[in-house]
C-alpha cells in the first residue's frame, strides 16, 4: 500500500514568489493534516481537513497561506508571497477518520526562501 | 503552539542501554501518541495510549501515562544504533499537537 506522497521534496524560491505543495494521502483516509516543522522543533499544525471540509485552520496564516482539498482526496498548500521566515519543512499526514487514531506522514517538502 | 514538552531535549547513550524520555502536557486528552523521526525524514508512528490506559508495550517500547500528573514516558529497552532519531509525543484532545522532541543518540 502506498503511503502519503508529497511533492516536490525540495523547493528553493526567492522571497515574494509564490509556492505550492501537493499531497496525496493514503487511499480511504478522510482526515488530512498540514504541519510546518522548523529545524530542531516539533511539527506545528497548520490545517486539518475532514473530507473536503477544513475543520481546524486556526493556525494557518491566512494573509499569505491558503489550502484546498478538492473532492476530499488530494490537497495543495500555497504560500503567496513567500517570506524568509517561511523556510521550513512542510509535512502532510493522513489518518482514517478523525484525530483519535495514528497519523501517517509523508516525507515532507523542504522549502528554502532566499 | 505546542502542548507537549519532552524531557530531556537530548539524550546520548551506549548501545544496549535503556533510554527513557518524558512528556508533560497541559490540558485534558483523549490519547497520547509517540512518533519517531529520522534525520530528514517524515514521522513514523510508534505507539498510541488512550486516556483510560496506564501502560502499553510494543516490542522494545514501553509507554506509561499518568493523567493525574499529565505526563507520559517512553522507554526503549536494549537500545540499538538504529534507534538514533528524534522522538516526539503528540497529544490528542480534538487536535493532534506535537511537542518539541527528544533527540536520542545511541552510540555503538
Question: Residue A2: its pLDDT value, please?
Answer: 81
Question: Residue A70: its pLDDT value, please?
Answer: 84
How confident is the model over A77-93, as pLDDT tens digits? Answer: 999 999 999 999 999 99
CA distance A104 to A40: 21
Placement of cell 523547493 in the chain: A11
Among B3, B27, B96, pick the best mutation site for testing chain A contact (most A Cβ within 10 A): B96
How confident is the model over A8-47, as pLDDT tens digits? Answer: 999 999 999 999 999 999 999 999 999 999 999 999 999 9
| Cβ distance of A104 and B45 shorter than 8 Å | yes
Residues 60-99 of A with CB under 8 A from B: 91, 93, 99
Beta bridge partners of B105: B12
How confident is the model over A45-73, as pLDDT tens digits? Answer: 999 999 999 999 999 999 999 999 988 89
Q: Residues of chain B whose pLDDT is less than 50?
A: 1
Amino acid at each position: 500500500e502506498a503511503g502519503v506522497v508529497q511533492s516536490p521534496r525540495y523547493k528553493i524560491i526567492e522571497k515574494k514568489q509564490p509556492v505550492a505543495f501537493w499531497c496525496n494521502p493514503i487511499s480511504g483516509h478522510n482526515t488530512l493534516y498540514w504541519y510546518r516543522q522548523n529545524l530542531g522543533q516539533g511539527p506545528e499544525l497548520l490545517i486539518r481537513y475532514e473530507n473536503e471540509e477544513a475543520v481546524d485552520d486556526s493556525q494557518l496564516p491566512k494573509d499569505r497561506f491558503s489550502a484546498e482539498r478538492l473532492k476530499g482526496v488530494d490537497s495543495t498548500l500555497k504560500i503567496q508571497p513567500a517570506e524568509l521566515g517561511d523556510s521550513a519543512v512542510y509535512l502532510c499526514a493522513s489518518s482514517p477518520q478523525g484525530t483519535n487514531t495514528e497519523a501517517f506522514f509523508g516525507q515532507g517538502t523542504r522549502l528554502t526562501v532566499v | 503552539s505546542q502542548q507537549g514538552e519532552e524531557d530531556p531535549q537530548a539524550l546520548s547513550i551506549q548501545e544496549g542501554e535503556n533510554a527513557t524520555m518524558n512528556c508533560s502536557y497541559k490540558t485534558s486528552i483523549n490519547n497520547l501518541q509517540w512518533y519517531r523521526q529520522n534525520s530528514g525524514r517524515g514521522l513514523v508512528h510508534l505507539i498510541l495510549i488512550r486516556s483510560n490506559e496506564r501502560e502499553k508495550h510494543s516490542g522494545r517500547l514501553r509507554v506509561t501515562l499518568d493523567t493525574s500528573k499529565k505526563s507520559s514516558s517512553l522507554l526503549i529497552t536494549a537500545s540499538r544504533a538504529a534507534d538514533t532519531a528524534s522522538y516526539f509525543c503528540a497529544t490528542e484532545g480534538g487536535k493532534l499537537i506535537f511537542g518539541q522532541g527528544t533527540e536520542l543518540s545511541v552510540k555503538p
